[in-house]
Amino acid sequence: MGKMAAAVGSVATLAAEPGEDAFRKLFRFYRQSRPGTADLGAVIDFSAPRGTGPGARKVVRSQLSVSSVSDHDAHRAGLQPVSKWQAYGLQGYPGFIFIPNPFLPGYQWHWVKQCLKLYSQKPNVCNLDKHMTQEETQDLWEQSKEFLRNKEVNKRRQRSLLEKLRWVTLGYHYNWDSKKYSADHYTPFPSDLAFLSEQVAAACGFQGFQAEAGILNYYRLDSTLGIHVDRSELDHSKPLLSFSFGQSAIFLLGGLKRDEAPTAMFMHSGDIMVMSGFSRLLNHAVPRVLPSPQGESLPCCLETPLPTVLPRDSVVEPCSEEDWQVCTSYLKTARVNMTVRQVLATDQDFPVESMEEKKTDITTEGFCHLDDENCQVKRVKLNPDS
C-alpha cells in the first residue's frame, strides 16, 4: 500500500508544464518512470488476479461469447479454448476488454516471426520507404538476420534495417499525412492474421468482423506511442484489436478529451486489448517500454518453443531454430504490436475524392512525420513533443 500511495503522490506533485493537459502530464510522468520503484505502483497488472495497483478497484470481469469460437478454430489460430481465457474490463470504460495472454504455449513464436519476417516485406508499406528505394527495402529480414545473430558479439555494430523499422501497414494502407484510407492504396491482408483477428473479435461478441487494415508498431526500449485517437476508419461500430509481443509496456487509456486523466496498465507479451463501443474513440498512448528486470532476456512465455506437430489446418506455420534465434535477438530489447481494424461497414464504399485530394494523397502516402504525435511509434530523442 505504501508503494501505491507513493506513486499517486509522485504524480500529484509533478509540476505541470505550460498548457499541459492531464493526459500529457501522466504521459510525461510514465515516460520518465523508473522500473522497480514506486513510480509504477499505480499501474494495473491484469496478469495478477483482478489486477493490482490503486486502479484495480476499477477492474471488472468481462463476459466472452464462448460458443462463438470452436476449440478447434481457436487452436488453429494458436489460442487456448475461449472457455479458458480470462477477460477484464474497467469501470468507466464500457467496450474496453483486456485479455491476458490467451495464446497456447509456444504459439506466439509464429506471430513474432510473421511481424519480422513476412509482414515487413513488400508490397506492404513501412517507414523506411521514405528514405530508401523499394529494392533496398525488398526483404528486410534477409538483410538483417546476420546482423541480429551477431548482436551479442558485436555491440558496437551498425543497427540492422529491422532495428530501424518503426511501422508497417497492411491491407488498406493508412496515409499518415491525410489520415485517411483509400480504395486505390490496398494490398491483400494476411490471411493468417485475418483468421486470428476474426476469432478474437467473435469471442468478444463481434461476429462478422472483417480484418481490412493493420498497423504494426515496432518499439525499441526508448520508443513511445503519442497520444491519439483511432478515428480514420469509416465504421466505428467495429472494434480495434491490439496484440502485444516481446518486452512489456505501459498503456494509458484516457477519455474523449485530453483533460481527463488516463488509467495506466501493463501490456505483457501475448496480451490482447479490444477497444469497442464507447472506448473505441478514446485517447490512448504508450509512454514507456520496460526493459526486462533480468537484463536483455525474453519474457518467460516466449521461452517455450512452438510445437513441432501442428493441427493439419492450422494457420500457424513451423518456426525454425534459425529463425527464432533472429527473433530472440531482436525481442530481447524490443516490443512488437499489431493493431487490426475493419475500415468499412458491410456494403460501404469509400467516398468519392476530388482529383486534388487524390493528388495530395499520392504525393504523401505512407510517410510519417516524427514530430506529429499521431505518428504511431516514435523515438524519444526524435520527438520533443512527447
Q: How far is CA 225 from the centre of its chain?
A: 10
pLDDT at 378 exceeding the cut of 80: no
**Sign of the torsion formed by the C-alpha atoms of 299, 301, 302 and 305:** positive
Residue 71, class by beta-carbon neighbours within 10 Å (0-12 exposed, 13-18 middle, 19+ buried)? Answer: middle
Look at residue 125 and give its three-state secondary structure.
Answer: strand
- What kind and span of H or E run contains 253? strand 249-253
DSSP tag of 306: P
- Side-chain-side CA neighbours of 167 within 13 Å: the count stands at 25
For residue 49 the three cell numbers come to 488476479
pLDDT at 194 exceeding the cut of 50: yes
Pairing, β 96-99 against β 272-275: antiparallel
Q: What is the pLDDT of residue 147?
A: 85
Cα(321)–Cα(327) distance, rounded to whole angstroms? Answer: 10
pLDDT at 177 exceeding the cut of 70: yes
Q: Average pLDDT of the chain? A: 87
pLDDT at 342 exceeding the cut of 60: yes
Instruction: Give tens-digit pLDDT for 354-374.
Output: 555 555 543 333 333 333 344
Contact, 298 vs 263, CB < 8 A?
no
Banded model confidence at residue 51, pLDDT cuts 50, 70, 90: low
Closest CA to 113 of 378, 340, 315: 315
Instruction: Give tens-digit pLDDT for 100-133.
Output: 999 999 999 999 999 999 999 999 999 999 989 8
Alpha helices in 167-253 (DSSP H): 191-203
Phi, psi for residue 314 in degrees, rounded to 5: -65, 145
Cα(116)–Cα(329) distance, rounded to whole angstroms? Answer: 12
DSSP tag of 118: I
Alpha helices in the chain (DSSP H): 2-13, 22-31, 71-76, 108-113, 140-149, 161-164, 191-203, 321-331, 355-364
pLDDT at 2 exceeding the cut of 80: no
For residue 161 the three cell numbers come to 534495417
Q: What is the pLDDT of residue 371?
A: 34
Least confident residue range of 190-194, 276-280, 379-383: 379-383
* Residues making up the binding site: 228, 230, 284
pLDDT at 382 exceeding the cut of 70: no
Instruction: Give tens-digit pLDDT for 125-143.
Output: 999 999 898 888 889 999 9
- Four-point Cα dihedral 202, 289, 116, 165, nearest 10: 120
pLDDT at 320 exceeding the cut of 90: yes
Averaged pLDDT, 84-99: 97
pLDDT at 377 exceeding the cut of 80: no
* Residues making up the binding site for Fe cation: 228, 230, 284
For residue 114 the three cell numbers come to 510473421
Cβ count near 354 (within 10 Å)? 8
Cα(67)–Cα(16) distance, rounded to whole angstroms? Answer: 49
pLDDT at 204 exceeding the cut of 70: yes
Banded model confidence at residue 383, pLDDT cuts 50, 70, 90: very low
